[in-house]
Chains A and B, each alone.
Chain A
Amino acid sequence: MSDVEAILPAQTAWLLLSAFSLLWIALGAYWGRRNTSFEDHALAGRNIGLALGTATAAATWITSNTTMLAPQFALQLGIWGMLAYATASFGLLLFAPMARRIRTLMPHGYTSGDFFRLRYGRLAWAIFLVFTLFYSLTWLVSMAMAGGILLKALSGIPYAWGMSVILAVCVIYTMRGGLAAVIGTDFIQSLVIIAGIVVVGFAVLSHVPIERIHANLASERPALLSVLFPAAIIAIFNNLLFGLGEVFHNNVWWSRAFAFRDGVAGKAFALGGLVWFPIPIAAGFIALASGALNVAVPAADMVGPLVIADVLGHTGAIAIFIIVFCSLASSIDSLLAATSDLVTEDIYRRILRPAAAPRNLKKVAQYVTLLLGVLTWAICLPRIGTLATVLFFAGPLVGAMIWPIVTGLYWRRANAAGAVGGMLLGAGVGLACYFAIGWYVATLAATAVSMVWVLACARFSNSRFDWAKLKETA
């Protein structure tokens, strides 16, 4: 990425960064005023409506990966690359019925940790906490790093500054406003992102029609058009299962299930998934136009911004900057909020201080948010390049959790032995495959092994779980 000149002057970038940062912080402070208890802070009053619910489901799942990586995938893996990426929406779609089930079973629930603790006991809960905190932290770190890297690539703002500002802004408004601020800003961010993608997409098409893009690909990058492009096909289900594992287990999504109004949860996730589905295609195809537009691509990860800048000039550069900033903020704030709520509820309240007063819990959650932000910042600062790849280790971990969660929600026969074994064996085999074969089979292997173990334990189980045990009151 080092050779590409910044497409946006640093002053303009700083201006945009400051303007949006002030907006998010002001909104965070304003909406935070409605929060008095930990429940308000963590679950926004348990009354989120359909509009905000749908927008937050979609916006949180749109990360800078979606907007920047989709064009890169298209350029590397062609049409199948874009279509495969779109299947990540299935996580949201399948979580819709699960969210309804979660609300039925756990009307007073706070976190996905609560589910593991009550459904499977302390050992499974402990393993779950290790897995989810590893995933959440690596996700947070990779997003913050991406923020610094992208701001530098787009505008020349030094990595340490860009990364620190994005992280600081997200920490501040998440601390002040809790989940309400996260969800409220998500709505604005989702509209900005989607509108930006539409405008950019049509702008590209006005410069070069589909026929010319196709002809250019056929002559210069023919494999990208191939229906049986092995590199693209090989990872489809591995990545799909990674996506399912991420959504099914993480408190980012469970907290939303608990925060949505009665009757909204199922619809919001389903609609959110539908809103998300076309985005990798709409954002990704512009990379395929790079050849037809004669845009030089010195680095695959810059193809998106380069095409946009070529087609829309200065305005395009501003547009991509804003889109990227919004996608980063909409994901970092959610991770901060959900992870601090998980730590506050599962570790602080349930393990360390069971007698803690409710009003103190809100303060604890805010401090944990700050702590998470500082920890993330400290890890990101040295900019260890290979850190981003650590996120891929999470694939086997989250894949191994799919079957314990799904069977745990629907089958009384699913038991702790199944969950514990499924998670440990699945993760173990998955990680072994990661190193022995490749990243593209790791999650697949983990899910397969976990499935076999969980199903076997359920098949031979003598126990029948009593769903009433999940209705623990606050």
Chain B
Amino acid sequence: MIGWSADAPVTLTMLRNDDPATARTLYSGSNSASFVSGLEDGTYTLILRDKAGLRSAPLELTVIHQPLARALLLVTMGALIFLAIVATILRGPRDE
């Protein structure tokens, strides 16, 4: 969630790894926040500009995803427990 305060409509631009070729406008208008998601790993720079061209100080954003290995470990554990529960229910009454 990127938030800011401004007296007039602004434009929010984002660059990836300081490369001007990747610049894109995230939002333009009079809101004071914008929700950003789904970015890949990397460093991003955000800049606010108003109609007159005045720029804010750049905001640096680093995106580091959770380690995949940990995610897969938890998925495996979870899957095993879940399957054990399903098996117990479907096997039904024991020891009758």
Contact = CB atoms under 8 A, between A and B. Distances in A.
* Contact between A and B in the complex (any CB pair below 8 Å): yes
Interface of A: 3-4, 75-76, 78, 94, 97-98, 101, 217, 220-225, 228-231, 233-234, 236-238, 240-241, 244, 296-300, 303, 402-403, 406-407, 410-413, 440-441, 444, 447-448, 451, 464
11 contacts: A94-B86, A221-B38, A230-B71, A231-B71, A234-B74, A234-B75, A296-B27, A403-B85, A406-B88, A413-B95, A441-B74
B60 to A, nearest CB: 19
A270 B24 CA distance: 48
Interface in B16-52: 24, 27, 29, 31-35, 37-40
B78 A238 contact: yes
A451 B84 contact: yes
Contact of A94 (B32, B38, B89): B89
A299 B81 contact: no
B53 interface: no
Given A220-B38, A221-B38, A297-B35, 4 more contacts: A97-B89, A228-B71, A233-B74, A303-B35
B66 A222 contact: no
B68 interface: yes
B77 A444 contact: yes
A296 B90 contact: no
Contacts of A220: 24, 38
Count class of interface residues, chain B: 35 or more
A382 to B, nearest CB: 24
A303 B1 CA distance: 13
B32 A300 contact: no
A410 B89 CA distance: 7
Contacts of B1: 299-300
Contacts of B74: 233-234, 237-238, 440-441, 444
Given A221-B38, A222-B39, A237-B78, A3 B95 contact: no
Contacts of A238: 74, 78
A468 to B, nearest CB: 13
A78 to B, nearest CB: 6
B79 interface: yes
A237 B37 contact: no
B7 interface: no
Contacts of A75: 35, 37-38
Contact of A410 (B24, B67, B79, B88): B88
B66 A240 contact: no
Given A78-B38, A231-B65, A412 B96 contact: yes
A241 B37 CA distance: 26
Contacts of A441: 74
A222 B39 CA distance: 6
A400 to B, nearest CB: 12
A300 B35 CA distance: 6
